[in-house]
Amino acid sequence: MALASMSKLMTSIAALQLVEKRLVDLETDVSSLIPTLASQEVLYDWDEAGRPLTQQRKNSITLRSLLTHSSGTGYDMSNPKLARFTAYMGREVNCGTTIDERFGYPLVFEPDTAWEYGTGIDWVGQLVERLTGQTLEIYMQRHMWDPLGVSRMTFWPAIVSGGTARVKISVRDSVSGGFSALKQPFLTEGVTDCFGGQGVYASMEDFLKVLHSILADDGKLLTSQSVAMMFQPQLLPPSRQALQKRVRDSTPESSFIGIFDKTLSYDWGLGGMLAMENEPSGRRRHTLFWSGMPNLFWVSTKSNSEFARY
């Protein structure tokens, strides 16, 4: 089935593997490695004629900012300003077969000054490809899926599924409450790039093998130091404050799946959102969690030196 944004966890792990190999650092300015992203200016307003007003970026785009959604990269399918920009350019939202085509629009703020859930980890996938000289599919196959014995995980399900049926996505009618099949292509259907932020297909059993490896700290994917870092807060103060405001202002229909109490503190780790307090629901401090568009949800928690899975 389509994992959608649960793909972000795996691409984050791939990036941390390259940090361990010293091919890149979390504070590396990745502009030279991702030229389409680096050339984007910051969208700050619109003139009286309805034309977008942009200005040159001043801050560096680091690997950490891309992994934590603090680089200024948003989604035009969820950010009204970017949707307006896309319409101004005569395009449809979330359109294009490559990452450059689909996400080549301006930043919505200076890196590390705010927070916006968006395309950062898709660009991280491009970074992995540039640094390794391999597609994200091949890299993950060799360095993540094979070591875990994962056989049903891929960016290209039509090619490698071996006849395995895919879960079909349905939508609920808001009036009748009934279900019907989703008619339009879902997220990355028809693309030609590996979209590291949303493009992986997998069985749930194989996705759980990835989670288990991290929580068991078995060394198959990452060192203990890297695993511990995943469960540590990564945002700079301005981005943390912006995230907290978004949580406070969120509605049940927002993208913040798994927020049970909007008065509590949250940050972003490396791979998902991070709970910063013990919660009445039972979720512990430093629990890492996120979701995927087809109503998918994962959660993992680190307590002292022990790992456990809910």
125 C-beta neighbours (distance < 10 Å), count? 29
* Cα angle 306, 125, 218; round to 5: 25
CA distance 264 to 280: 10
From 5, 12, 65, 71, active-site residue: 5
CB-CB contact of 7 with 198 (8 Å): yes
CA distance 93 to 74: 12
CA distance 278 to 302: 12
- Kindly give the interhelix angle for 7-20 and 204-216, rounded to the nearest 10 degrees: 40
Q: Is 291 a catalytic residue?
A: no
> How do 153-154 and 201-202 pair as beta strands?
antiparallel
Using CA atoms, how far residue 228 sits from 223, 224, 237, 255, in Å, is: 9, 6, 21, 26
Reduced to 3 states, what is the DSSP secondary structure of residue 56? coil
What are the residues whose beta carbons fall under 8 Å from the beta carbon of 91, sequence distance 6 or more?
A: none
Q: How many residues comprise the chain?
A: 310
- Residues marked active site are found at 5
